[in-house]
């Protein structure tokens, strides 16, 4: 089996938002919609505040709760594990149930064309053997892309090597996300208290 995914090093992320810009440019994402968004996680007060930045996007779940929620069957999972939305089938139904079904807030409504959209791991680039635009654009080299089911891939080796400091978002959701976050120097706080700067 193949399951493409990402590791993002929060030890390296400086919130320069190259990922967000590259994603917008690659997919022509509507104003006000985001397929990846960098949040700030802060606890404590000055001078004891502790902060890190965390990009949140579709986690390409092994058990994607968005998929069965779509009344138009517009969401599917490719053989390489990428979860995609077929916007030609998406009627942006009144309830926009997929948006509510995603525990990560990863699906955005695009007002311009009355569809919903989300990270597709740059499936078109992947099909050409290229990494997703976010991973390519990050000037902190914080992103690693690959097959998390292949024990010989670089991404699997990093996950195994750094296992004590590798985290996933909302594991309790049961979605089995395919994105991982590396945070070794600070306390992992999952999605608690995230805010947009």
Residues that bind ligand SF4 (CB under 6 A): 58-61, 64-66, 83, 102, 104, 106-107, 118, 175
**Rounded-to-integer distance, Cα 48 and Cα 103, Å:** 30
When the beta carbons of 108 and 153 are compared against ligand SF4, the nearer one is: 108
| CA distances to 9, 146, 189 from 180, in Å | 9, 11, 14
When the beta carbons of 124 and 160 are compared against ligand SF4, the nearer one is: 124
Total residues belonging to the chain = 197
**Rounded-to-integer distance, Cα 178 and Cα 66, Å:** 15
Query: Smallest distance, Å, CB 181 to ligand SF4?
Result: 14
When the beta carbons of 5 and 64 are compared against ligand SF4, the nearer one is: 64
Query: Smallest distance, Å, CB 97 to ligand SF4?
Result: 12
| CA distances to 23, 28, 91, 123 from 68, in Å | 26, 27, 15, 21
When the beta carbons of 69 and 140 are compared against ligand SF4, the nearer one is: 69
Query: Smallest distance, Å, CB 45 to ligand SF4?
Result: 32
Query: Smallest distance, Å, CB 78 to ligand SF4?
Result: 11
**Cβ contacts of 163 within 8 Å, gap of 6 or more:** none
**Rounded-to-integer distance, Cα 37 and Cα 103, Å:** 15
């Amino acid at each position: 089996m193949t399951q493409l995914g990402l590791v993002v090093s929060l030890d390296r992320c400086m919130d320069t938002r190259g990922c967000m810009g590259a994603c917008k440019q690659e997919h022509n994402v509507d104003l006000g919609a985001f397929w990846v968004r960098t949040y700030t996680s802060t606890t404590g007060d000055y001078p004891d505040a502790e902060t890190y930045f965390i990009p949140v996007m579709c986690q390409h779940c092994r058990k994607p709760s968005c998929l069965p929620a779509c009344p138009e069957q517009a969401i599917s999972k490719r053989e390489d594990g990428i979860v995609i939305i077929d916007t030609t089938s998406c009627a942006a139904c009144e309830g926009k149930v997929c948006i509510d079904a995603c525990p990560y807030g990863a699906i955005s409504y695009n007002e311009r064309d009355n569809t919903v959209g989300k990270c597709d791991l740059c499936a078109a680039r992947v099909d050409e053997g290229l990494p997703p635009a976010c991973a390519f654009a990050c000037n902190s080299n914080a992103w690693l892309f690959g097959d998390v089911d292949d024990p010989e891939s670089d991404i699997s080796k990093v996950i195994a090597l750094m296992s004590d400091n590798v985290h996933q978002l909302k594991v309790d959701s049961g979605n089995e996300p395919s994105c991982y976050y590396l945070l070794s120097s600070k306390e992992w706080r999952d999605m608690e208290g995230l805010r947009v700067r």
